[in-house]
């Protein structure tokens, strides 16, 4: 099996209805050449998931949530379940983003429970991992990420249902990026870890790179043996930049 690249946008807490015009432009720009090479996914804020799903009907662009609760329903004011995302038209969900790990104190165990919820609801679940700056400086980046993988990925993960996103925390929104060699080393380590635990499924699981991906640096960062796509924050808000990054694959 060859791993089909996934070009994914995480809009974070950005986007009002007016911003759906950028999503429509992404759908319009998802050419036959791009479709032949990569999957497209946009994860808007939860308020826009249903409208976003409608806006890309027939375009082949997937829509996803940015987080979900571990439970399917219940007394959890303000939370959204994986089933609700699915019902609104999502096909994917991101869990364990470093902003949620930091802002909401989400542990690996919490992330794993959310990932299990994503699988239960039939959503392809993107599990995010990544080291902080001081962990990299201490030479612990790979060990930290291995531990996150062990703690955050459900045992039931398969290549079709789980995607891993490696996002070094210090590269998110900063314009800083790891070197090509550092990305290669980390993705190789993630591949080994997945292979040891999941066998062929691990070999076939997509591993995305995220953190300050832009059209200018996309080729260097994502055209590498164990990099199967990008998770894009800021640059996914503009169709031109998102399409510019995706064009690295054609």
Question: By the criterion CB under 6 A, which residues form the site for ligand 13P?
Answer: 10, 97, 167, 172-173, 210-213, 231-235
- CB nearer to ligand 13P: give 34 or 128: 128
Which of 12, 46, 40 lies closest to 28, judged by CA? 40
Q: Which residues of 52-89 are buried (b: 16+ CB within 10 A; e: fewer)?
A: bbebbeebebbbbbbbbbbbeeeeeeeebbbbbbbebb
Q: Is 216 a catalytic residue?
A: no
Which among 83, 97, 116, 131 is annotated as catalytic? 97
Which among 22, 83, 167, 187 is annotated as catalytic? 167
CB of 222 to ligand 13P, least distance (A): 12
- CB nearer to ligand 13P: give 14 or 73: 14
Q: Contact at 8 Å (CB) between 88 and 53?
A: yes
Q: How many residues does the chain have?
A: 250
- CB nearer to ligand 13P: give 10 or 81: 10
Distances (CA, A) of 162 to 5, 22, 24, 55: 13, 27, 26, 25
CB of 69 to ligand 13P, least distance (A): 19
Q: What is the CA radius of gyration of the chain?
A: 17
Query: By beta-carbon distance, which residue lies closest to ligand 13P?
Result: 233
CB of 153 to ligand 13P, least distance (A): 17
- CB nearer to ligand 13P: give 198 or 230: 230
Q: Is 22 a catalytic residue?
A: no
CA distance 232 to 187: 17
Alpha helices per DSSP H over the chain:
20-29, 32-37, 49-55, 82-88, 98-103, 108-120, 133-137, 141-152, 180-198, 200-204, 218-222, 239-246
CB of 37 to ligand 13P, least distance (A): 21
- CB nearer to ligand 13P: give 205 or 212: 212
CB of 208 to ligand 13P, least distance (A): 9
Residues classed as catalytic: 97, 167
């Amino acid at each position: 099996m060859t791993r089909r690249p996934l070009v994914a946008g995480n809009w974070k807490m950005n986007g009002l209805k007016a911003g759906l015009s950028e999503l429509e432009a992404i759908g319009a720009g998802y050419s036959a050449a791009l479709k032949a090479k990569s999957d497209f996914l946009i994860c808007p804020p939860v308020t826009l998931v249903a409208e976003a799903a409608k806006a890309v009907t027939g375009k082949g662009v997937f829509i996803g949530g940015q987080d979900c609760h571990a439970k399917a329903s219940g007394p959890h004011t303000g939370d959204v379940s994986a089933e609700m995302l699915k019902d609104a038209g999502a096909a994917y969900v991101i869990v364990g983003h470093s902003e949620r790990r930091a802002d909401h104190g989400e542990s690996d165990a919490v992330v794993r429970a959310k990932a299990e919820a994503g699988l239960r609801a039939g959503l392809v679940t993107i599990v995010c991992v990544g080291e902080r700056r001081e962990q990299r400086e201490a030479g612990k980046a790979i060990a930290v990420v291995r531990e996150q993988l062990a703690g955050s990925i459900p045992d039931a993960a398969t290549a079709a249902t789980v995607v891993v996103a490696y996002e070094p925390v210090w590269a998110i929104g900063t314009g800083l990026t790891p070197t090509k060699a550092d990305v290669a080393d980390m993705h190789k380590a993630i591949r080994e870890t997945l292979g040891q635990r999941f066998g062929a499924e691990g070999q076939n699981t997509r591993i995305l790179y995220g953190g300050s991906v832009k059209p200018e640096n996309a080729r260097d960062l994502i055209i590498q043996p164990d990099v199967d796509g990008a998770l894009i924050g800021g640059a996914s808000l503009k169709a031109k930049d998102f399409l510019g990054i995706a064009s690295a694959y054609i």
